[in-house]
């Protein structure tokens, strides 16, 4: 499982405050703790469209000074911001995200093709709005694949995000997600499937029960990457447990070693 740490997101109140006051200690601490929670990438999202590039540049410099090997998921709606940030990163990371919205693939696929090692999250979304069926998602998937082929982007560099909507307002939210995931996984074994899973529980109480159920259900249906809170030890336990069940972790070696290191926070 590839884990993308979600915590450095300016839509979270405490993070927004730290951004406003340029609290470097807060940002450095949150990056360090997510990396201790085995995050493979650190997602950075400013939440402030007008100072997007400036805020992300500040975070990138701070975090890569502490962790020279860190890889970022650059989370911005603005392709120009993403392009600037890519130049600033010492290590290749993930572009979060492209979609079929006008101008996105045209700007970001050539940059990714040129820059070694960069991966790309692609949302199954176009200018007609949020997809409301498995069929529409698959249609958008074909559009993304066609564009990726045109720019020479290999399938194993693509992280497809089929999009999740809350089951509080979209009763088929989970079923649409796994419907698309299964078809994609079956026809494209090398491609990654990712999700910012916590949308699934928006508007409901005790969200972590739903988020946890989603994580396991999605992993059983082809999801191999997730944007989540790596400080949440129960979720990390779920990741390791599901990997063992799926036989991605023979003889539970990784599970046992994570337990011994107290990654799950349950040892005395």
Q: Which residues bind ligand THG (CB under 6 A)?
A: 6-7, 9, 12, 45, 75, 96-97, 121, 161, 196, 198-199, 227, 229, 232
d(C-alpha 168, C-alpha 190), whole Å: 33
Q: How far is the CB of 251 from ligand THG (least distance, A)?
A: 30
What residues contact 159, with CB distance under 8 A and at least 6 apart? Answer: 2, 94, 119, 120, 121, 122, 192, 193, 194, 225
Q: How far is the CB of 250 from ligand THG (least distance, A)?
A: 29
**CB closer to ligand THG, 163 vs 258:** 163
Q: What is the DSSP letter of 68?
A: T
**CB closer to ligand THG, 7 vs 176:** 7
**CB closer to ligand THG, 13 vs 260:** 13
Cβ contact 38:260 at 8 Å: no
In 89-232, where does DSSP find H-type helix? 104-114, 134-151, 173-187, 207-219
**CB closer to ligand THG, 42 vs 145:** 42
Q: How far is the CB of 73 from ligand THG (least distance, A)?
A: 8
Residues 173-197 as b/e (b if ≥16 CB within 10 A, e otherwise) read bbebbbbbbebbbeebeebbbbbbb
**CB closer to ligand THG, 49 vs 257:** 49
Neighbours of 171 (CB within 10 A): 11
Helix, strand or coil for residue 1? coil
Q: How far is the CB of 253 from ligand THG (least distance, A)?
A: 27
Q: How far is the CB of 69 from ligand THG (least distance, A)?
A: 22
């Amino acid at each position: 499982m590839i884990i993308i740490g979600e915590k450095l997101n300016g839509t979270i109140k405490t993070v927004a405050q730290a951004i406003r006051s340029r609290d470097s200690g807060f940002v450095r601490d949150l990056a360090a703790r997510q990396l201790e929670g085995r995050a493979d990438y650190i997602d950075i999202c400013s939440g402030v469209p007008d100072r997007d590039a400036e805020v992300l540049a500040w975070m990138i410099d701070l975090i890569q000074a502490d962790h020279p090997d860190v890889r970022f998921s650059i989370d911005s709606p603005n392709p120009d911001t993403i392009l600037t940030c890519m130049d600033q990163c010492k290590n290749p990371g993930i572009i979060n995200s492209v979609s079929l919205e006008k101008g996105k693939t045209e700007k970001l696929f050539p940059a990714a093709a040129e820059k070694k090692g960069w991966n790309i999250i692609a949302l199954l979304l176009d200018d007609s709005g949020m997809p409301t069926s498995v069929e529409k998602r698959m249609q958008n998937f074909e559009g993304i694949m066609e564009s990726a082929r045109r720019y020479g982007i290999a399938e194993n560099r693509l992280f497809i995000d089929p999009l999740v909507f809350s089951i509080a307002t979209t009763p088929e939210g989970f079923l649409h997600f796994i419907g698309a995931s299964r078809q994609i996984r079956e026809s494209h074994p090398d491609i990654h499937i990712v999700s910012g899973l916590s949308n699934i529980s928006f508007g409901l109480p005790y969200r972590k029960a739903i988020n946890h159920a989603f994580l396991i259900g999605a992993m059983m249906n082809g999801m191999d990457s997730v944007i989540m809170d790596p400080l949440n030890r129960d979720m990390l336990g779920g990741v390791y447990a599901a990997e063992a069940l799926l036989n991605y972790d023979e003889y539970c070696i990784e599970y046992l070693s994570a337990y011994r290191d107290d990654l799950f926070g349950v040892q005395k």
